[in-house]
Amino acid sequence: MEIIKTKDYDEMSKQACVKVIETIEEMHQPVLGLATGSTPEGLYKCLIDAYKRNKVHFDKVTTFNLDEYIGLSPEDKNSYHYYMNENFFKHIDLPADQANVPKGNTGNASQACEDYEQLIREAGHIDLQILGLGVNGHIAFNEPHTPFNSRTQVVDLTESTRDANARFFESMDDVPTQAITMGLESIMESREIILLVSGFKKAAALAELIHGKKTESLPASILKNHPNVTIIADEEALSKA
């Protein structure tokens, strides 16, 4: 795992932005894996800005998001699909049918998981996967003790993850208890992975990832097995490493 230390959140976002644009330029039909949450917001702003300045186009790009809450429709303001529309998709020239987010409200979630894996296979797998890191070491919604060989599936969210995400909801009761998430093994099939980490609250999990052993109690530690992972982290996130 290569580690790039940045001064702050903005520099982390810019470095990731450069890498995403390079990938789009290099590939004929690039496939990007995308994350939601606070961490990639700066990356999306930077990509939107580059698009507006005619430095990048997304018409040949296909995207796959990591996860979606069960029970929320794409129109629900708290769904990850809505987040992606607001923070990224509606500002760029990515055709709507090339932007994929797991379907959390189909009524048949396990079928939705299988369909999602099939779509990723048909797209030829993910060229560049963007990940954020949970305070408990999760990646996507693969919580501690998720088997390393997990595929896209329905998962129960831990209380720590529901707490961390409650800031987006009106009350704790509104925070969903389940989600569809790409599995750890599915994520590992990406050709290249960038893990973005910012802020003191991620410092302990990041230090454990860098110095600890590979263990299912820290889901992100599976990344140690991947041949092409770059961690882009700011000084605060690396303060305990």
- Among 171, 186, 192, which Cα is nearest to 219's? 186
The answer to whether the CB of 209 falls within 8 A of the CB of 142 is no
- In the residue annotation, 87 being an active-site residue is answered as no
Cα(124)–Cα(121) distance, rounded to whole angstroms? 5
Q: What are the φ/ψ torsions at residue 110 (nearest 5 degrees)?
A: -70, -35
Position 221, amino acid = S
Cα(204)–Cα(217) distance, rounded to whole angstroms? 14
Q: Is 187 in the site for ligand F6R (CB under 6 A)?
A: no
- In the residue annotation, 138 being an active-site residue is answered as yes
Q: Is 37 in the site for ligand F6R (CB under 6 A)?
A: yes
Eight-state DSSP code of residue 157:
P
- In the residue annotation, 136 being an active-site residue is answered as yes
Q: Is 140 in the site for ligand F6R (CB under 6 A)?
A: yes
- Sole window of 50-58, 130-138, 209-217, 227-235 interacting with ligand F6R (rule: CB under 6 A): 130-138
Cα(209)–Cα(128) distance, rounded to whole angstroms? 20
Q: What are the φ/ψ torsions at residue 10 (nearest 5 degrees)?
A: -60, -45
Q: Which of 102, 132, 137, 183 binds ligand F6R (CB under 6 A)?
A: 132
Q: What's the min distance (Å) between Cβ of 47 and ligand F6R?
A: 16
Q: Is 190 in the site for ligand F6R (CB under 6 A)?
A: no
> Which residue number, 36 or 150, has a Cβ lying nearer to ligand F6R?
36
Q: Which of 92, 112, 139, 193 binds ligand F6R (CB under 6 A)?
A: 139
- In the residue annotation, 143 being an active-site residue is answered as yes
Please list the active-site residues. Answer: 67, 136, 138, 143
Give contact residues for ligand F6R (rule: CB under 6 A): 35-39, 66-67, 132-134, 138-141
